[in-house]
C-alpha cells in the first residue's frame, strides 16, 4: 500500500510540465496578432507582464514552503492567512474559472482540428460531439490516477513546445526591425498603451500556480514545488517573449494585427504551405495538453476545499486510485454545459463574457495570496527574511494583481464580484450543514 502511494507522487519534471502545459494553451498562438494592434510598444507590455508573473511565481514558491504539504494552492494559502470565508471565496471563484476555461479550451481544440477535418467547421453537431468527447476522454484519463494524467502532461508539453521553438529559430532569418513600426499604433499615450498591453498579456500567465494545487500529491513538496514553479514560469516566459518578438519582426504590423493565425502565417513564410498544418497540429496538441492539466486542477481544488468542509462532501469522494472522481465528473459536466452554449447562436456573446469573468476569478486569488504571504510572515514572526524583502515582494505583487484586475474593465469587475458574492449563501449553507453533521 505504501509503495502504491509513493508511485502516485508527482516529481519535478511532471510538476514543471503541469505549469508549462497549463500556462501555454491555445491562446499563445494568437498573442502576436493581439499585441500588433498596439504596435511595437506591445513588447514592453509583454516584458512587464512577465516580470509580474515572475513575482507571482516567487510568491507561490514561498507560500508552498510556509504552508507545506497542503493541497489547494491559492485557496489554502488564503484560508490559512485570511480565514475560512476568504478561502471559500477564492476556491469558489477559482473553481468556476477552471471549468469555464476548460470549455473554452475544448472549443479551441475543435477549432484547431478544423484544418484537418473541415466537417467540424461546417457541422455543429460534429463539433459538439468532438468537444464533449475530448472533455470526457481526459476526465477518464485523470480518473485513472494523477500519475497517468501527469505522464500525458509531460508528452503534450514537449510536443506543444516544438512548433513554438521551430517558428522562433526559423523566423530569425526573416527578422526585420522595421516591422516593429509604428511603435505606438493607437491613439492612446505610450503609458496607457503599455498598461493595456500588460493587462492583456498577463492573462496568458494564468496557471503559474498549478504545481501548488495538488501539493499533497507532490514528492518532497517543499523543494519540488518552488523549483517547478520558478522554472516552469521562466520557461514559459522565454518561449512566450522570444516567439512573439520573432513573429512581430517577420510580419508587418498592419498585416499581423489582422491575422487570425499569426504562427501559421510565420511558418508559411519559413516553410511554405505545409507549415500551416504543422502549426495547426501544434495548436491542437497545445489545447489538448492544457485541457488535461486544467481538468486535473478542477478536481484537486474542489477536493481540497471539500476536505476542509467548505465545499459539499461529495467533492472529496475518491476512487480506488485516490482520485477525487466526483469532483472531476461534476466539473466536467459544468464545462460541457458551458461548451454547449457556444454552439447556440443566441448565447455566444454571453459565453465570451463568461470567459472574461473567469479570468477575473483567477486574478483575485493572486491578490489574496499576496496579502496572505505578508500576513503569514507577520504571524510567524520569521527572522529568516527581512521585512523589507517580505513587504517588497508581497506589496509589489499585491499592487500588480490589483492593476491587472483594474485592466479587465469596470463591467467585468462588477459582474465578477457579483459572481463571487453569489457564493455567500452557498457558504452559509455549507457551514451550517457541516456543523449539523458534527
* CATH (domain of 117): 1.20.1740.10
Q: Which has more pLDDT, 102 or 435? A: 102
Q: Please check whether residue 123 lies inside any domain of the structure.
A: yes
Task: Give the model's pLDDT for residue 351.
Answer: 52
Task: Give the model's pLDDT for residue 304.
Answer: 95
- Burial class for 98, CB neighbours closer than 10 Å (0-12, 13-18, 19+): buried
Q: Helix H segments across 215-273?
A: 221-250, 253-257, 262-271
- Only one residue has cell 472574461, namely 356
- What is the C-alpha separation between 193 and 341, in angstroms, rounded? 33
Contacts of 256 (CB under 8 A, 6+ apart): 32, 33, 36, 179, 247, 248, 262, 265
Task: Give the model's pLDDT for residue 3.
Answer: 37
% residues pLDDT > 70 (the chain): 93
Mean pLDDT for the stretch of residues 245-264: 89
Tens digits of residue pLDDT in 34-92: 888 889 999 998 899 999 999 999 999 999 999 988 999 999 999 999 999 999 999 99
- Cα–Cα distance list, 29 to 81, 279, 373 (Å): 37, 9, 33
pTM for this model (two decimals): 0.90
Task: Give the model's pLDDT for residue 79.
Answer: 96
Poorest-pLDDT segment among 162-176, 305-319, 411-425: 411-425
Question: How many domains is the chain built from?
Answer: 1
DSSP-assigned letter for residue 10:
B
DSSP β-bridge partners for residue 10: 218
Q: Please check whether residue 174 lies inside any domain of the structure.
A: yes
Mean pLDDT for the stretch of residues 186-198: 86
Cα angle value 114/35/196 (rounded, 5°): 125
DSSP-assigned letter for residue 50:
H
pLDDT band at 434 (very low <50, low <70, confident <90, very high): confident
pLDDT band at 141 (very low <50, low <70, confident <90, very high): very high
C-alpha cell at 350: 454571453
- What is the C-alpha separation between 436 and 163, in angstroms, rounded? 55
Tens digits of residue pLDDT in 274-327: 888 898 899 999 999 999 999 999 999 999 999 999 999 999 999 998 899 999
Task: Give the model's pLDDT for residue 203.
Answer: 76
Task: Give the model's pLDDT for residue 409.
Answer: 73
Task: Give the model's pLDDT for residue 437.
Answer: 62
pLDDT band at 230 (very low <50, low <70, confident <90, very high): very high
Q: Please check whether residue 67 lies inside any domain of the structure.
A: yes
Task: Give the model's pLDDT for residue 273.
Answer: 82
Task: Give the model's pLDDT for residue 204.
Answer: 82
Q: Please check whether residue 30 lies inside any domain of the structure.
A: yes
Mean pLDDT for the stretch of residues 93-109: 90
Q: Which of 104-108, 143-147, 255-259 has the highest mean pLDDT?
A: 143-147
Task: Give the model's pLDDT for residue 438.
Answer: 56
- What is the C-alpha separation between 212 and 299, in angstroms, rounded? 14
- What is the C-alpha separation between 125 and 376, in angstroms, rounded? 51
Closest by Cα among 60, 92, 343 to 226: 60
Closest by Cα among 308, 300, 295, 294 to 88: 308
Task: Give the model's pLDDT for residue 275.
Answer: 85
Q: Please check whether residue 350 lies inside any domain of the structure.
A: no
C-alpha cell at 333: 459536466
Decide: 228 and 15 in contact? Cβ < 8 Å.
Answer: yes
Q: Please check whether residue 358 lies inside any domain of the structure.
A: no
In this structure, the dihedral spanned by the alpha carbons of residues 131, 28, 296 and 214, taken in order and rounded to 10 degrees, is: -170
Task: Give the model's pLDDT for residue 242.
Answer: 93
Q: Which has more pLDDT, 155 or 33? A: 155
Show the domain range for 115.
2-343
Mean confidence (pLDDT) of the chain: 88
Task: Give the model's pLDDT for residue 77.
Answer: 96
Task: Give the model's pLDDT for residue 413.
Answer: 82
Q: Please check whether residue 95 lies inside any domain of the structure.
A: yes
Residue 404 has pLDDT above 90, yes or no: no
Task: Give the model's pLDDT for residue 1.
Answer: 34
Cis peptide before 353 (omega within 30 of 0): no
Q: Please check whether residue 250 lies inside any domain of the structure.
A: yes
Query: What is the CB neighbour count within 10 angstroms for residue 144?
Result: 13
Mean pLDDT for the stretch of residues 261-269: 88
% residues pLDDT > 90 (the chain): 55
pLDDT band at 7 (very low <50, low <70, confident <90, very high): very low
Task: Give the model's pLDDT for residue 6.
Answer: 44
Amino acid at each position: 500500500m505504501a509503495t502504491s502511494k509513493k508511485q502516485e507522487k508527482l516529481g519535478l519534471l511532471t510538476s514543471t510540465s503541469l505549469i508549462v502545459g497549463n500556462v501555454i494553451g491555445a491562446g499563445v498562438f494568437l498573442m502576436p496578432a493581439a499585441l500588433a494592434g498596439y504596435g511595437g510598444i506591445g513588447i514592453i507590455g509583454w516584458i512587464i507582464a512577465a516580470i509580474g508573473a515572475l513575482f507571482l511565481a516567487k510568491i507561490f514558491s514561498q507560500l508552498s514552503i510556509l504552508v507545506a504539504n497542503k493541497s489547494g494552492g491559492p485557496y489554502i494559502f488564503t484560508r490559512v492567512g485570511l480565514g475560512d470565508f476568504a478561502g471559500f471565496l477564492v476556491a469558489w471563484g477559482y473553481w468556476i474559472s477552471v471549468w469555464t476555461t476548460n470549455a473554452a479550451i475544448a472549443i479551441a481544440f475543435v477549432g484547431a482540428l478544423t484544418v484537418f477535418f473541415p466537417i467540424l467547421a461546417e457541422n455543429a453537431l460534429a463539433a459538439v460531439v468532438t468537444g464533449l468527447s475530448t472533455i470526457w476522454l481526459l476526465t477518464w484519463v485523470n480518473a485513472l490516477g494523477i500519475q497517468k494524467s501527469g505522464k500525458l502532461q509531460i508528452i503534450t508539453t514537449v510536443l506543444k513546445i516544438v512548433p513554438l521553438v521551430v517558428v522562433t529559430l526559423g523566423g530569425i532569418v526573416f527578422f526585420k526591425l522595421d516591422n516593429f513600426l509604428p511603435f505606438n499604433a493607437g491613439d492612446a499615450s505610450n503609458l496607457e498603451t503599455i498598461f493595456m498591453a500588460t493587462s492583456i498579456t498577463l492573462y496568458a500567465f494564468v496557471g503559474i500556480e498549478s504545481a501548488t494545487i495538488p501539493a499533497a500529491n507532490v514528492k518532497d513538496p517543499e523543494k519540488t514545488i518552488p523549483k517547478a514553479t520558478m522554472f516552469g514560469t521562466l520557461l514559459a516566459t522565454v518561449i512566450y517573449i522570444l516567439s512573439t518578438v520573432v513573429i512581430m519582426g517577420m510580419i508587418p504590423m498592419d498585416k499581423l494585427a489582422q491575422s487570425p493565425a499569426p504562427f501559421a502565417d510565420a511558418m508559411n513564410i519559413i516553410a511554405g504551405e505545409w507549415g500551416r498544418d504543422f502549426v495547426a497540429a501544434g495548436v491542437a496538441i497545445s489545447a489538448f495538453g492544457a485541457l488535461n492539466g486544467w481538468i486535473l486542477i478542477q478536481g484537486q481544488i474542489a477536493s481540497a476545499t471539500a476536505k476542509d468542509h467548505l465545499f459539499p462532501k461529495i467533492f472529496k469522494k475518491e476512487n480506488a486510485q485516490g482520485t477525487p472522481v466526483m469532483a472531476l465528473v461534476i466539473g466536467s459536466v459544468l464545462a460541457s454545459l458551458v461548451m454547449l452554449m457556444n454552439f447556440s447562436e443566441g448565447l455566444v456573446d454571453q459565453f465570451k463574457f463568461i470567459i472574461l469573468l473567469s479570468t477575473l476569478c483567477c486574478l483575485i486569488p493572486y491578490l489574496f495570496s499576496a496579502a496572505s504571504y505578508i500576513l503569514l510572515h507577520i504571524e510567524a514572526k520569521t527572522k529568516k527574511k527581512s521585512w523589507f524583502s517580505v513587504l517588497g515582494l508581497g506589496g509589489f505583487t499585491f499592487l500588480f494583481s490589483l492593476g491587472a484586475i483594474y485592466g479587465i474593465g469596470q463591467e467585468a469587475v462588477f459582474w465578477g464580484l457579483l459572481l463571487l458574492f453569489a457564493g455567500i449563501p452557498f457558504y452559509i449553507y455549507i457551514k451550517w450543514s457541516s456543523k449539523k453533521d458534527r
